[in-house]
Chains A and B, each alone.
Chain A
């Protein structure tokens, strides 16, 4: 049950947080890691941090933004750990990135990580440029450029594909 706590802070049970923000966290993690196993590890880590963290959230939007921010941070940490270990990535087929069934998703996943996350937050989570800039700690103009380049790359690939057909 949702209710407003004192000082206008929201309070949710663990189950409510899981039910409400599972998709958001998992999809951001999957989008960034392109690997279900890593995405699942990050998913658990993010929700455990939510429990351990004593932070008070003023609104559901605030909580959602915090979860996305933590997810991105966890992904970046995992990237840097992987780079340190210099291990080769285990390529596992993710069913959702299948070209036949999820064509656009497949092409989005071919983009660089910085373009992928911008596209995901803009087109799926429906965040504004300003909000994405805040979440990614970047300038608004940078995000605008990234989205523009992502669109251009996707358009190019889409047209190439159409020609093949």
Chain B
């Protein structure tokens, strides 16, 4: 009979591992296999067994058979009755059923030294890799946040990636810091000091993945296929990765090669699944919401025509003539920001007249300020040697007719143009009209944009 037990202790918590395995042996459970989250035990006769925990810096869970060093340790251990039970990366576990065996470790400095070597060769590089990965994720999203804040803040999935990067960075950084401090500390240990563990029992790295996946639904306001796709991708990629690791291990593939192949295939599977999945979602789900109602020729190519109901039309504030129109809407929302982009263009060869406006409903001051400031810096004066060559920026105009808190209008070399930033309480609007609005049109447009749901 076999049993799998959830095991979240860090592999360097050797005392806890030892105590727990001895307790389980007394209850008749012998360890046969270690894993990331679960350790496997086999039912046996309950008996008192001595457990030894050791570390080999080049040990790897991807090795198909014990490495030369592991074999050598097993040979030495066998001389004193220690039988190998399981291994997991640097961690090596032995049982001894003799009543009073020669202890596995008789020199605490040599034991500390082996642990320090495993930390330096395995755990520190992994931690450093985690820091780089976390920073990369944060910087990628951070850069996009700087370039187009509304686009990022309205996409829960991107916010989730940012949080993932932040958690990865923090856990890896704390882990590296803790291991670095441990390495310094053991250099100063006296012979009577208790050996501390370099692991991080309070923030185990192993809990990171369930936490990150667990919070994902809170970030995805869009339900249905996208959420299912993301979970399915994670599940299938992990399954492919784990399954292939075992298959390659049985085939006798070396640890490095195994890791490289499985990572490559797992990541490719995830990428293919995501791309194909989003393609299908776009084709059947998104396309349903934004279905073209026809096409029209612009001379050289065919363009699709949409007929989304939009709250403000060019006809509401400008003479539009007897033209046909395409109207399109794009919606995105997260817990920080809801963004709706409306576009309207005439079915003419050059898509003119053309209007575009974006309505942001913000649920935090941070998102409001960030988007407002970014929009107000859409245009910057061109300055050379301290002299303004081209003056092009937003200037504040009277918000009264708009019934807004603040209104800014695009100005080029002193002439007011057709782009506006309207600031209401919790709502920001960027309006790019085909031409500057007439004073009569302003209150009407303001009311529509302010009150539209």
Note whether A and B form a binding pair: no
Question: A residues near B, CB below 8 A?
Answer: none
